[in-house]
Amino acid sequence: MTYTGWILLTASLVGLSCGIVGGFLILRRMAMMADAISHTVLLGIVTAYLVTRELSGPHMLIGAIIAGLLTAVLVQWFHSRGVQQDASIGVVFTTLFAIGVILIATHVGNAHLDTKHALMGEITFVPWDVMHVPLLGEVPKATFMLAAVLLVVVIVILAFYKEWKITSFDPALAASIGIPVVLLHYVFMSLVSITTVASFDAVGAIMVVAMLITPAAAAYLWTDKLSIMLVLSGAFGVMSAFMGYYIAVWLDTSISGSMAFATGIVFVVSFLCSPKHGMLSRHVHRFGARRSKENIKGIS
């Protein structure tokens, strides 16, 4: 495959994984938890590096899962001790992130792992760092890891689809019929963590937030069906990846930055033009909506 081909494939895998996870993320009102975890995985990566002196896939994934779960547990714990939810998110992630940055500045130096790379990603290097995969031949490491993560995401989401749905919509009912709501919460946080860390080479730890939240929010405006929303959200993620790449090439600027920006374009278009919940259709249908609401009242 060509150089550009690998980059687009890698970015599309990011878009797909993030889009699918992001759909549930925004429905569970955890958009800011994603923001928090995307920062704290840095600490997980740095710690994993300091322990193993390696920047390879499995170590980073494990480090990221631990950091992500630690974030989720700490936020929950502070909240249960009377700190407002969003304040406790703010305390936890800034602290863990700051420790990560300090560790990089004081222990790691700029040789192997620099903060800017972790935050902004460096997708242009991805195609050169290859590994040998049976049957497929030479495949970039980051791409392979993203494909593996996407597979995990799809399997976990599909296997527990109805459980994700009910715990997102009505956790009290879910708990009352014996679904392990808390366990599922932490499984989900692990999914967010591995998606974030796998996307880290491509778009960086911060820009992954855009990929997680914005395509899902855009999809939420187009449909009233959960399954369609998840598919759309993944598609919007891929679309943003392509758009972002070509904008970056055109303006000769940061690829990850333009991909994040491209998710914004997709959202704005949806926000204005979606037939169901867009601004334009709202103005057009305002009168019609009022009338149909009166009809409903008449029937009931």
At its nearest, how many Å lie between other proteins and the CB of residue 132?
A: 33
- Convert residues 237-256 into a mask of x (bound to other proteins by CB under 8 A) and - (unbound): -----------x--xxxx-x
Q: How far is CA 100 from CA 29, 67, 90, 189, 203, in A?
A: 26, 11, 16, 20, 18
Rounded Cα–Cα distance for residues 215 and 112 (Å): 32
What SS3 class is residue 137? strand
Of the pair 39, 59, the CB lying nearest other proteins is at: 39
The amino acid at residue 23 is G
- Convert residues 61-80 into a mask of x (bound to other proteins by CB under 8 A) and - (unbound): --------------------
How many other β-carbons are positioned within 10 Å of the β-carbon of residue 41? 35
What SS3 class is residue 265? helix
Choice from 7, 13, 16, 31 touching other proteins (CB under 8 A): 31
At its nearest, how many Å lie between other proteins and the CB of residue 211?
A: 8
At its nearest, how many Å lie between other proteins and the CB of residue 53?
A: 22
Contact 8, 242 (CB under 8 A): yes
| Residue 114 interacts with other proteins (CB under 8 A): yes or no | no
The stretch near other proteins (CB under 8 A) out of 9-17, 47-55, 101-109, 131-139 is 101-109
Token pair for 182: 């808390």
At its nearest, how many Å lie between other proteins and the CB of residue 197?
A: 17
- Positions 165 through 224 that interact with other proteins (CB under 8 A): 165-166, 168-170, 172-179, 206-207, 209-210, 212-214, 216-217, 220-221, 223-224
Rounded Cα–Cα distance for residues 82 and 91 (Å): 13
Give helix then strand counts, H and E, for the chain: 13, 2
